[in-house]
Structure 1
Amino acid sequence: MTTVPSELRDSLRGNKLPRWSPWAIAGGAIVLVAILFALTGNRSALGFSVLAGVIFALALTVASFAVEGSRQARDRLCTTAVYTAFVLAVAPLLSIAVFTVLRGYRELTPTFLTHSMFLIDPAKDGGGIYHAIIGTLLISLITAVIAVPIGILTAVYLVEYGQGKRLARAISFFVDLMMGVPSIVAGLFIYAFWLLALGFQFSGFAGALALVILMLPVVVRNSEEMLKLVPSELREASYALGVPKWRTITKVVLPTAFSGIVTGIVLGIARAMGETAPLLLLVGTNPKINFDPFSLSLTDPNPMTTLPTYIFEQLTTAAGSTTAPAFYRAWAAALVLIIIIMLLNALARFAARFTKARG
């Protein structure tokens, strides 16, 4: 094999900017913007970042065009745009996480995690979120138990049995419609049907029914896309061996798409855990620990507190004060909610990794 000399290879590539040039241009952009802000008295951190980024992108593109040519300049401009989009997507998530940790860590104690707000003055120190954690987990569990089987079976029908059928098109239409339904509308529907029409009272189960409406389209659409990604050759090979279609679906198709389906389920549960409006309508709040999410009585309400409603309740108690104990309890509850969702995500990835189909 013939080896191209390094000098010839460099000459074929054309002129290149030094490796340190992007860093130098970035430093120059920061210094220039700092001088401009010092002269104008502007103190906006967001404006500083945006202006420095724009100057950096333009200066790097111009320098690349002058030294490397138009083709490489366009490549650098597109690369800069991609990295900028990545930063714009990640920065809000990181800022939310950091802000929540800084505001909520001071209240995150064993007592806070193992006590409720029963007999605690909301305007004073003390109390915890144990009752809210129990309510969140129970309602989310009921929601998942109802929504996951229905969602997966619906996706299996759409992909495996409903090709070209009117019923499948109608189901797809309503799933897309449900994806855009506001959470308060789902809560109002269950309120009108479950509480007003049937006469039942506030309970965790009523809130779970509203969350099923919100979680179901997420599970259906994600599971449908994952099932479509399963190669048709796997199905055909199974059919060639004489395996029935239902057994092919359960033994070949679903295990192959399992990791993606689990990811969609976790996304649906995360959305359900973060909803507030339907639970305020249908579940209410309760400072006591309540392990019973069911209330089929027509006269005795059975409210439960969840982490989102607890956060809302504490922020309402704080009344805009950033030094009130309720303010820090709300941020600590938000931090616990984020941690629970992260743990569920990690557990789902672990389960998908060790239960996926292997050749």
Structure 2
Amino acid sequence: MFSSDSIVNLSNPVYRRRQRFNTLMLTLSAATVIFGLFWLSWIILTLFVKGGSALSLTLLTQSTPPPGADGGLLNAIIGSVMMAAVATLIGTPIGVLAGTYLAEYGQRGWLAPATRFLNDVLLSAPSIVIGLFIYATYVAQVGHYSGWAGALALAILVIPVVVRATDNMLLLVPNSLREAAAALGCPQWRVIMFISYRAARSGIITGVLLAVARISGETAPLLFTALNNQFMSLNMNAPIANLPVVIFQYAASPFEDWNRLAWAGAVLITLLVLGINIAARSLFRK
């Protein structure tokens, strides 16, 4: 057996080499963390400095104004909430059921691996591709932009996130729980409903919340589907205002008041995404 003195010894060349390598890697790791935090802090600080002054009660109570007039983002906020809610209601059941099949029924055969591969492709696909797909299959057929088209595009973005979360969380449920329930005579659907889902509930909810956070700031698919509306409208069958497109249009405009509203909208989306991520992590810890 080797004594500890022969291994952990400053005069041992192997120990010194490993210690130098360990110190080098720790230094590089700390440097990369500091580098990333620096840019992240700079972005957040700039965002709040530029948009913090525009945050007011008017922002949440008035619709988007014409150039040179006072106004807010109420119509864009309501439109974004409506489309995100519809997209979540459409995408969540599909994603949960698909993830359930992959985890509970897809242990054999080629369908489950192929579905996981296609889901990963859809998960990493650019959102503008989804927008173009909905434009070609829905908007071009009905002949007008609409909130329903925007919600469909966002729902397609929700599905792969929920599928991945549901699949991963159900696979973490110990098989002993399923076997114990099956030994008592429970059919598989009842085992999934009352055992697997309850054990993986926090993880699945976390996946849904992360999907909502993702679609909250998507602009590209809405440019081809919902477009925008300068006025307050609750009609989902017509162009409807939404925060991402308003931010895109107002940020590129030459009017300073519109620029301020764009910064304020960016702050609102950042706070929303931050709040959703905090809620998701809190649920996951429980």
TM-score by length of 1: 0.72
Q: Does 2:188 correspond to 1:245?
A: yes
Residue 206 of structure 2 contacts residue 283 of structure 2 at CA under 8 Å; is this kept in 1? no
Q: Which residue of the partner structure matches residue 116 of structure 2?
A: 172
Question: Cα–Cα, structure 1 residues 351 and 76, in superposed 2: closer, same or farther, change >3 Å?
Answer: closer
Instruction: State the partner residue of 2:25.
Output: 78
User: What is the DSSP-based 3-state SS (H/G/I as helix, E as strand, rest coil) of the residue aligned with 1:236?
Assistant: helix
Query: How far apart, in 2, do the equivalents of 1:218 and 1:95 lie?
Result: 29
**Contact in 2 for aligned 1:259/1:349 (Cα 8 Å):** no
Give CA-to-partner distance per residue, 1:317-342, whole Å, 9 cap, x none: 237xxxx2222211111001111222
Task: Kindly report structure 1 stretches of 4+ aligned residues shifted beyond 6 Å.
Answer: none
User: Which residue pairs with 1:315 in the alignment?
Assistant: 251
Q: Does 1:121 align with 2:66?
A: yes
Alignment match, 2:260 = 328
Higher relative contact order (CA 8 A, sep 6+): 2
Tell me, in whole angstroms, the C-alpha distance in 2 between the residues paired with 1:170 and 1:254. Answer: 24
1:131 matched to 2:63: no
Counterpart Cα distance in 2 of 1:211 and 1:273: 9
Provide closer, same or farther for how the CA distance between residues 231 and 196 of structure 1 changes in structure 2, counting only shifts above 3 A.
same
Q: Which amino acid in structure 2 is aligned with residue 95 of structure 1?
A: W
SS in 2 for 1:338: helix
Distance 2:72 2:90 in 1: 30
CA distance in 1, matches of 2:194, 2:34: 41
Deviation at 1:303, TM superposition (A): 1.1
CA distance in 2, matches of 1:271, 1:235: 33
Q: Tell me the equivalent position of 1:186.
A: 130
Report the CA distance shift for 1:171/1:248 in structure 2 as closer, same or farther (over 3 A).
same
Q: How far apart are 1:260 and its partner, in Å?
A: 1.9
Q: Which of 201, 214, 220 does residue 271 from structure 1 map onto?
A: 214
Aligned to 1:90: 37
Residue matched to 1:44: none
Residue by residue over 1:6-39, the C-alpha shift from the partner in whole angstroms, topping out at 9 and shown as x without a partner, is xxx99x9656xxxxxxxxxxxxxxxxxxxxxxxx
Question: Retained in 2: the 8 A contact 1:139–1:207?
Answer: yes
Number of the residue aligned with 1:303: 239
CA distance in 1, matches of 2:177, 2:28: 39
What residue is the counterpart of 2:105 in the other structure?
Answer: 161
Provide the rounded CA distance (Å) in 2 between the counterparts of 1:161 and 1:268.
Answer: 24
Partner of 2:53, secondary structure, is: helix
Return 5+ residue gaps in structure 2 as ranges.
Answer: none
Q: Is the 8 A contact 1:195 1:202 kept in 2?
A: yes
- State how many pairs are aligned: 282
SS in 1 for 2:253: helix
Percent identity of paired positions between Structure 1 and Structure 2: 39
Q: How far is 1:121 from its partner?
A: 2.5
Offset at 1:84? 2.8
Q: For the aligned residues, what is the CA RMSD?
A: 2.6
Shift of 1:243: 2.1
Native 8 Å contact 2:213 2:272 kept in 1: no
Q: Structure 1: 5+ residue runs without aligned partners?
A: 1-8, 16-64, 296-301
Bigger radius of gyration: 1
Q: Supply the distance in 2 between the matched residues of 1:223 and 1:89 (Cα, whole angstroms).
A: 30
AA aligned opposite 2:247? I
Q: Does 2:56 match 1:109?
A: yes
Find the residue that maps to 1:107 and give its secondary structure: coil
Paired with 2:99 and 2:243, the residues of 1 have a C-alpha distance of 31
Deviation at 1:142, TM superposition (A): 0.6
Q: Deviations over 1:107-156 (max 9, x none)?
A: 00101221112xx322x252111111101111111111011110011011
SS in 1 for 2:186: coil
Report the Cα distance in structure 1 between the residues aligned to 2:284 and 2:92, rounded to whole angstroms: 16
Contact kept? 2:103, 2:167, Cα under 8 Å: yes
**Could you tell me whether the CA contact under 8 Å between 2:106 and 2:112 is conserved in 1?**
yes
CA–CA distance in structure 1, aligned partners of residues 87 and 154 of structure 2 = 6
Quote how far apart the aligned CAs of 1:81 are.
2.8
